Structure 1
Amino acid sequence: MTRVHDMGGRFGDGAVTPEPEDEIFHEEWHKRALAITLATGALGQWNIDTSRHARESLSPQDYTRFSYYEKWMGGLAALLVDKGLVTVEELAGTTDPVPSPLADRAMKADQVAGVLAKGGPADRPSNIAPVFSPGDEVIARPHPENEKVNGGHTRLPSYAAGARGRVLRMHGSHILPDSNAHGLGEAPEPLYAVAFAASELWAHPEHPDDEVVLDMWQSYLRSAT
């Protein structure tokens, strides 16, 4: 079953309206939300896939009414409590906070630029050999759900499930989010850029000849031949 966040191509959500390139934050607190997310991530208690899963696990009621950065804060609050870094009472301000044993890992202001410049590369060596090459016809697996964890995180969108596409290029081997989000190891495997015709994805595409290019891990794909 799909979750509320898996809304790509869903009818009725309106057009995508690009924002001005210089309009990064709409509110002052959005900057703080980004800063807090970076600072807590630097504590090393979770990875980017874990944090994405936390946001996706918000209740449908909260997910649909929260703004972008409210989703970030909702997911982060759940992670902080789940990992035992703070209590619900501390977050609510109903009890005095207890000093954290991870305080010495706190990111300082002069470290931020270096951390952002370094990024978080997800390419890794893998013992799984690639089985597809550019030009190969492939089919996305028919069930988009995480095959390792019931209700778990995945990067396979439901609208692409069972669709036929062609491999444009191989990106090398990368961490598998379906595993990494749940503490099951990085499990790197080959990652491909796959092009899908709009007419393959939707029954009534506005521009049938358009293509959608998705990055797909090898376990998401099957040979079309």
Structure 2
Amino acid sequence: MKLQHHLGGLEGLGPVWTETRVFVEPWETRIFGIHTAMMALSSQLPLPATPSAFDTIWTWADLRKGAEGINPFDYFKYRYYEKWLGGISGYFIEKGYITAEELDALTEVYYADPDKALPGGGAAAIDERIIQYLVEGDSPKRDVPVGDVLSVGDKVFIKNVPTIEHTRLPGFLRNKVGTVETVYEGAYTYLCDTGPDGIGTPMPVYCVAFDPQELWPGNAEANFILYADLYSAYVLPADVAEAA
């Protein structure tokens, strides 16, 4: 997880302003809808066929990778859904659905005439598939053997795994020690293979409790616990880590 995507625990960042509205501008709802449609139309899902030409895979992980690939200085220039728009546009160009020049030309067309009708071929069938996707979902839980599983109360050491494109491990937890609070039943996959980061295939997931004094020694409030849900690829039994 690159710096701009998890600022927890960093000092001297100045005042932080948080937007509480889910959507600030009307166009942001359309970006969310496009993202949802892309997930529903992804080729790996066993859902009814549609006339859509979209035949590749798009997941939450692809959206996150697109945002995390932005230059850190550019990242802070844009609002939330502007980052989504950039990632989605880049994906369509990368996969050959449209060229950058064609996208720029269409952008100018709709700037000039915002009320111009959008293409609607096969919309009804596409809508039905999206609705089915939203109703049925795509659970990451898998019914597969998971091997050795840690127990509630076990002390664990959090690895500092290499990050290439994407990770689900916050930076401030790396090389820290916590305690297993909950062992979630079953095994859980991730939306994509993160390579050296270690997640993708089904594995146990734990809720791990951390003492803030362990995370930020001498600079944390008292009387609270921080919890994080972590894939097993990110944790080691503390005694194994000490012996290594």
CA contact (8 A) 1:49 1:181 kept: no
In structure 2, give the amino acid aligned to 1:83.
Answer: K
Letter in 1 for 2:5: H
Superposition map of 1:29-44 within 5 A: 29-44=27-42
1:107/1:154 CA distance change after superposition, 3 Å: farther
Q: CA deviation at 1:178?
A: 6.5
1:126 to partner: Cα distance: 3.8
Q: Work out the CA distance in 2 between the residues paired with 1:13 and 1:144.
A: 29
Larger Rg: 2
- Give the one of 94, 110, 115 matched to 1:82: 94
Secondary structure at the aligned position of 1:165 is classed as strand
For residue 85 of structure 2, give the secondary structure of its aligned residue in structure 1.
helix
Three-state SS of the structure 2 residue aligned to 1:215 is strand
Cα deviation 1:169-208 (Å, max 9, x = unaligned): 12231114572689x9941111111111111111344413
Tell me the residue number matched to 2:181.
168
- May I ask how many residue pairs the two structures share in their alignment? 210
- The answer on 1:123 being equivalent to 2:141 is yes
Give the superposed CA RMSD. 3.1
Q: How does 1:90-129 map to 2 (within 5 A)?
A: 90-93=102-105, 108-129=126-147
Q: 1:14 to 1:218 in 2, by over 3 A?
A: same
Other-structure match for 1:98: none
2:212 and 2:157 map into 1 onto residues whose CA distance is 14
Q: Which residue of 2 aligns with 1:24?
A: 22
For 2:166, the aligned partner's letter is H
Unaligned runs of 5+ in 2: 43-56, 108-120, 240-244
Q: Which runs of 5 or more structure 1 residues have no equivalent in the other structure?
A: 96-102
Q: Which moved more, 1:67-76 or 1:104-113?
A: 104-113
- Give how far 1:124 is off: 1.7
